[in-house]
Structure formats: C-alpha cells, structure tokens
Amino acid sequence: MKYEIPPLPYPKNALAPHIGAETVELHYEKHHKGYLEKLQKLVRGKPEAERSLEALIRSASGEIFNNAAQLWNHNFYWLSMKPGGGGEPSAELARQIEESFGSYRDFRTQFAAAAVGEFGSGWAWLVKGARGRLSVCSSDDADNPLQRDLMPLLTIDVWEHAYYLDYRNERKRYVEAFLDHLLNWDFVASNLTLAPAPERARGS
Ligand code: FE
C-alpha cells in the first residue's frame, strides 16, 4: 500500500492571518510528513503494509495506529479549511445542521466546546452517525471517529502545534477563527455526498 500526503489545497500563506504561513509550514512539512515517514518505517515488511489507512485505524494499535491515524487525521484537517471559509452553511447543509443541532448557533457552541474542552492533545469532529444524525465529538491524541463507526465530516486539530505560534496558549481564539473564517462547508457537503468531491482525504 502506498501511503501518501495530498498536496495542500491552498498556498501556505492562504490561511493567514488566522493561521500563519510558519504554522502551516511546520505543521504540514514536519509534523504531518513526519507521521508518513514513521508509518512507512513501522510497516515495512509487515502484513500491515498491505492495509489501507482506514483499515489500520480500525485494526492496528500502538505506534502503527498512532502514525496511521495521525496521517489520516491531518489529510482530513487541511481539507476541512479553506481561505474565506467559516460562518453558516447554506442550502441542504443548513437544513441538516438545524435538524441535528437545533440551529447553526447551537452547532457552533457545541463544536467550540468540544474543541476547547478537549484535555491535552486531540481533535474535535463533526460526524454522521448510523441513523444519519450529525453530531460533534472530540478524540484524544490520534483517535478517530472511524473507530466508533462514525463518519467524519470535518475536523479541527487541537494539538498545540496547530495553533501555538499564532495564538500561544489561547486555544479558544484559534477555534473561533477556524469556525468563523476557515471552516470548509464544501468539504462537509462533499463528505455527505451533497456536492461533488473535488478532493477527498485519502491516504491510500
Ligand atoms: Fe497536527
């Protein structure tokens, strides 16, 4: 299995001033690519090397799980943002958010609480459950909603490396900037197959 990191869908300075070019440079080139390199070393010559990232997330443990999941999570994270994003969704997606959360404001409050409240390093997610309902959850370290049979629709990385250069310890300001200026609703729609998928997060 060839594991890959898709090219960034925008220039490294395109998320500024909300996420600066230096953060994107370090996060993408060092952290994200570091997980890919470690995973490749860990699976070399082992049966795991034949499994997709999703299969590794569902079945592996220890270092192989950590690096496979972090690779997938970061692939998904970059697509969860776009320059000029954020704010309320439109059309069918707005209807689904209202149906699941009551209102966009309630979604925003829940997502921010999950992201800000995640203790230590981890992720916050918008997910779709088996019955089609959307919900918000968080995960520790490298954990991913696929382990709980939830379909990821959107994620924010709340490891300190994602925001420390831009916001120091003020995670809440980073989360608010993500929600109000970066969130890529087109990506959410494509994951719900409400819209064509220009690019999907695929590491394999
Ligand atoms: Fe990260």
79-103 residue pLDDT tens: 999 999 999 999 999 999 999 999 9
Ligand 1 centroid distance, CA of 105 (Å)? 27
Note the pLDDT of residue 19.
98
At 1 the pLDDT is 87
pTM for this model (two decimals): 0.94
Residue 204 pLDDT:
41
Instruction: Give the pLDDT of residue 198.
Output: 53
pLDDT at 196: 60
Long-range contacts of 186-192 (CB under 8 A, 24+ apart): 186/82, 187/79, 187/80, 187/82, 187/154, 188/89, 188/93, 188/126, 188/153, 188/154, 189/89, 189/92, 189/93, 191/151, 191/152, 191/153, 191/154, 192/93, 192/96, 192/128, 192/153
Residue 100 CA to ligand 1 center (angstroms) comes to 28
| Ligand 1 centroid to residue 131 C-alpha, Å | 30
Compute the distance from residue 96 Cα to the ligand 1 centre, in Å: 28
Cα–ligand 1 centroid distance for 154 (angstroms): 14
Q: Which residues of the chain have pLDDT under 50?
A: 202-204
- Distance of CA 42 from the midpoint of ligand 1 (Å): 20
- State residue 69's pLDDT score: 98
